[in-house]
Amino acid sequence: MAIEIKTLELRIVAEVKLFGDFCFKLGAFGFAEMESSHSNTPNASNPQTQTDTPETQSPTQTQNPTSEGFMVGDRRKAPKSIVWLHYTKQIKKDGNGVEKVIGVCNYCKLEMPADPRKNGTTGLKNHIERRCKLSPLYQQQGDANQPSLTTDTMGSGLVPHTFNQKKCELKVVKFIIKDEHPFRVVEGSGFKEMMNEVQPRFKVPSRKKVAEGVWELFMVEKAKIMSVIVEQRVSITTDTWTSIQNINYMVVTIHFMDSDWNLHKRIISFTKITSHKGIDIGKTLDACLTDWGIHKVFTITVDNASANDGAVEYMAQSLKAMNTLMLDGKYLHLRCACHILNLIVKDGLKELSASIEGIRNCVKFIHSSPARLDKFREFAIACRMEKMANVPMDVPTRWNATYKMLEGAFKYRQVFEKMAYSCECFKLIF
């Protein structure tokens, strides 16, 4: 900062000095012109004085412009730009004998075009400010100790941005898909206020248009996957379940390798099915693979439900009809290892069923109402434990859920013991 102030002071001093010299020269020139006009007037006291005629006047006296200006008729026209304080105007002939006006830098003596009809003063000004290091107006471009902001130093940080309505709508669609928002989120007042602040020119789409955008994006991604798995063999995993609304659902996932031998998995279907019968599962799976253009399958992995045996048998017949079944379907049916492990663990837990059932009933008690959960947490605080204490409830389809329930009950065993002595309703049940 101090260096910049010092440089500015030097520039001001130089400008004032040069302007003073210029004014002095103008004053001296005006006085000399008045003297010459008096001496050239015919006078009786000086009859021998002769005036120069155009024929006897030297060409350099009328055509040699100086830093003070040009001769225009009988008057001398002074330059208007202050840049001429740093240049001297001259007329020179080029190789073809054509006269040209040039400006000679007073510091480095560089000759530059200066014809007022063809060349402006911008080039002259840029020279004394940016190129001529001898000029008092020279400005060094940037501080040597300060890094410059370029694409080399900033990487991809300096990127121009242009508003695009279509790209913004696509980002909204992806936002809804990734964060699992309902389509109507775009019609909320809060979302509209936020987008108006972020980009006032963005027109928020309706939920109908968002739904269309989701479908279009699905078709684009579907085409990408189909272009990769074309003529490839894939492995399939599928499962079915019933929702709390008693609706049967089925999901289909494919597993495949790309050209670089990287393993990928993609969900290609999530649909309702009429029932959990093997024939219905097989028909739904066959229709899904046909829609995606998949005719070559390595394996189909399902759980140990008896209905899945019929579904795999149906798929084996369909693949055999297309002559794409490998090894006559000997290894087509794979049973889910996680489901098998779950069955093994559940069978082993039967030896401890009485103890586990008692702990499960205690956990059911604290989850039966908000008041009982608050009471449990009060006892946890009394035992110097966290105020948001909780024990997860297990589910029969996941053996690790039973493990987490037992782990939580063991952690809060002191709380349960205190409840057994102090909580009347807890003692009545157990």
The CA-atom distances, in angstroms, between 80 and each of 67, 83, 121 are: 11, 9, 10
**Contacts of range 130-139, beta carbons closer than 8 Å, 24 or more positions apart:** 132/105, 132/107, 132/108, 133/108, 134/107, 134/108, 135/86, 135/105, 135/107, 135/108, 136/10, 136/11, 136/13, 136/14, 136/15, 137/11, 137/14, 137/15, 137/86, 139/7
Identify the top-confidence range among 23-37, 129-143, 255-269: 255-269
Contact present, 132 and 105 (Cβ < 8 Å): yes
Of residues 237, 387, 244, the one with CA closest to residue 315: 237
Evaluate if residue 270 carries a pLDDT over 80. yes
Evaluate if residue 74 carries a pLDDT over 60. no
pLDDT in tens, 400-425: 888 899 999 899 988 888 888 877 77
Q: How far apart are CA 381 and CA 253, in angstroms?
A: 46
Q: Which residues are within 8 A (CB) of 374 and not within 5 positions of it... i.e. 6 or more apart? A: none
* Helix or strand holding residue 178 (H, E): helix 165-178
pLDDT in tens, 196-224: 999 999 999 999 999 999 999 999 999 99
Mean pLDDT of 220-248: 90
Q: Write the DSSP assignment of 105-157 as a string of letters.
A: ETTT--EEE--TTT--SHHHHHIIIII-TTSTT---SS-TTS----HHHHTT-
pTM: 0.54
Q: How far apart are CA 21 and CA 23, in angstroms?
A: 5
Helix or strand or coil: residue 48?
coil
pLDDT in tens, 309-368: 999 999 999 999 999 998 888 999 999 888 888 888 888 888 888 888 888 888 888 888
Lowest mean pLDDT among 10-14, 255-259, 270-274: 10-14
Mean pLDDT of 74-80: 57
Q: At what angle do helices 207-229 and 165-178 cross, to 10 degrees?
A: 80
Strand partners, 335: 302
Q: Which domains can be identified in the chain, with CATH numbers? A: 2-32+58-131 (no CATH), 165-219 (no CATH), 230-335 (3.30.420), 350-429 (no CATH)
Of residues 135, 86, 74, the one with CA closest to residue 114: 86
